[in-house]
């Protein structure tokens, strides 16, 4: 049993893994930047999908410079809109709460590492009733660079008191997988039963559906 539990901590990405918030980010991005004269296209918005909020603001400002408000104010407008949307419309990924509860019952430490602003983390965890299940949370807000830089994962590992090679990250984006791999962690790609074109070549394991993993007890955790 001890050998099976070589992995001591599971670190979750947030957007697209805990909560189906990516459509909400897109909605906020379109609303805020369109109001500033930016032509937000689906193709260009896809480029910003894994960026930090500050990086998104800089991205659009480079292409469609506005002068009436600062980048910092723009960023806060996006964060405020996303917070509102999460509170009113946010839905958790199916099976996530039971999955994390089962991990904790097995003795794993649970962490969170996200590119989203730190202020949004408690909103999401409270919305999904997940707050007491996490031993630590980390945001790229506190790092010089967001994912795919490994900094936020190294911080998450340090907060949990678990070496990176004893951690596994659950990610739904190639950028996030690169960050976790660069930090020295194993990676489980969460696909949510879709073939959405995300490159999973860096993943050590695939989790198609949290419910499916729970229903098949022998595959409860693909990484055991």
| Catalytic-residue membership of 13 | yes
Indicate the helix (H) or strand (E) that contains 111. strand 109-114
Marked catalytic residue, from 15, 135, 141, 149: 15
Distant-in-sequence contacts of 187-193, Cβ < 8 A, 24+ apart: 188/222, 188/223, 190/13, 190/16, 190/17, 190/93, 192/16, 192/93
Can you tell me the distance from the alpha carbon of 188 to that of 75, in angstroms, rounded to the nearest whole number? 31
| Catalytic-residue membership of 204 | no
Can you tell me the distance from the alpha carbon of 186 to that of 190, in angstroms, rounded to the nearest whole number? 13
Please, what sign has the CA dihedral across residues 94, 191, 140, 72?
negative
Marked catalytic residue, from 13, 135, 149, 172: 13
- Catalytic positions are 13, 15
């Amino acid at each position: 049993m001890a050998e099976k539990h070589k992995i001591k901590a599971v670190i979750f990405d947030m957007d697209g893994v805990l909560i189906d918030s990516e459509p909400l980010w897109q909605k906020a991005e379109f609303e805020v930047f369109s109001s500033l004269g930016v032509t937000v296209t689906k193709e260009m918005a896809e480029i910003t999908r894994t960026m930090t909020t500050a990086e998104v603001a800089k991205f659009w400002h480079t292409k469609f410079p506005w002068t009436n408000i600062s980048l910092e104010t723009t960023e806060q407008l996006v964060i405020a809109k996303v917070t509102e949307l999460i509170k009113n419309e946010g839905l958790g990924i199916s099976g996530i709460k039971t999955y994390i509860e089962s991990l904790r019952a097995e003795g794993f430490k649970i962490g969170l590492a996200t590119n989203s602003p730190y202020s949004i983390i408690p909103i999401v965890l409270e919305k999904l009733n997940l707050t007491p299940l996490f031993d630590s949370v980390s945001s790229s807000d506190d790092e010089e660079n967001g994912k795919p830089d490994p900094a936020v994962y190294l911080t998450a590992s340090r907060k949990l008191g678990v070496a990176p090679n004893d951690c596994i990250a659950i990610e739904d984006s190639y950028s996030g997988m690169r960050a976790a791999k660069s930090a020295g962690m194993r990676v489980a790609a969460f696909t949510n039963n879709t073939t959405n074109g995300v490159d999973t070549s860096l993943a050590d394991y695939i989790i198609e559906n949290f419910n499916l993993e729970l229903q098949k007890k022998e595959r409860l955790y693909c990484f055991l």
